[in-house]
Structure 1
Amino acid sequence: MINAPRHERDYPDREIDFQEAMESGFQVIVDCMLEAGWRRGEVMRSLRRLIAADNMTQKENAKVEAELAIARAMIRARK
């Protein structure tokens, strides 16, 4: 069962609560993969790769956002 956040607005431990709520979901995924015949090492490696891919995507998105901000500032400066 996934627990709901304590309240809708941000609070100091919200990220920790979110991580705890996700743990059970990841455990279900791992259990299903193991039951299907995948080895634990393969499952964990794949999860790590998914996390790494997400981290890279976030970094690339941040770069693009920074480049867009610079381009917008340059356009405003020309006006």
Structure 2
Amino acid sequence: MEIKPPKHDGPYPDRDIDCQQAIERAFQELMENIVAAGWGPQEISEAIGQLAICDDLSRKDVAGFDAHLAIMSVMAKFDAERET
């Protein structure tokens, strides 16, 4: 699947919207594959959100990324205990 590149090099107005439009088809295909594997919409949204946060943190601050992973681990354990 081809993903269109930005319309211009460097920042420009609505570049974020262009990016969303460029990846929308690939994202929908990814979502369909994840749903077909048996995951629910809420799980998928949370997982993708967490992956995006972790990716952003890893680019900015390795120590912050490690801290975030530790926090996510504790939160997951808390959620698991709460569900039982």
Q: Do these two structures clear the TM 0.5 threshold for a shared fold by scoring above it?
A: yes
Structure 1 counterpart of 2:32: 31
CA distance in 1, matches of 2:60, 2:5: 29
- Deviation of 1:2 after TM superposition, in Å, equals 3.4
CA distance in 2, matches of 1:42, 1:2: 26
Q: Deviations over 1:1-56 (max 9, x none)?
A: 63343345653333321122112211111111001111111111110110110122
Structure 2 counterpart of 1:68: none
Identity percentage of aligned residues = 34
CA distance in 2, matches of 1:9, 1:47: 26
Higher mean alpha-carbon deviation, 30-39 vs 15-24, is at 15-24
Uncovered stretches (5+) of structure 2, i.e. residues with no partner: 65-84
Cα root mean square deviation, aligned: 2.4
- Gap change, CA 1:4 and 1:33, over 3 Å in 2: same
Higher RCO (CA-CA < 8 Å; seq separation 6+): 1
State which structure, 1 or 2, has the greater radius of gyration over its C-alpha atoms: 1
Higher mean alpha-carbon deviation, 37-46 vs 5-14, is at 5-14
- Gap change, CA 1:59 and 1:4, over 3 Å in 2: closer
Uncovered stretches (5+) of structure 1, i.e. residues with no partner: 64-79
- Number of paired residues? 62
Using the size of structure 1 for normalisation, the TM-score is 0.58
- Gap change, CA 1:56 and 1:4, over 3 Å in 2: closer
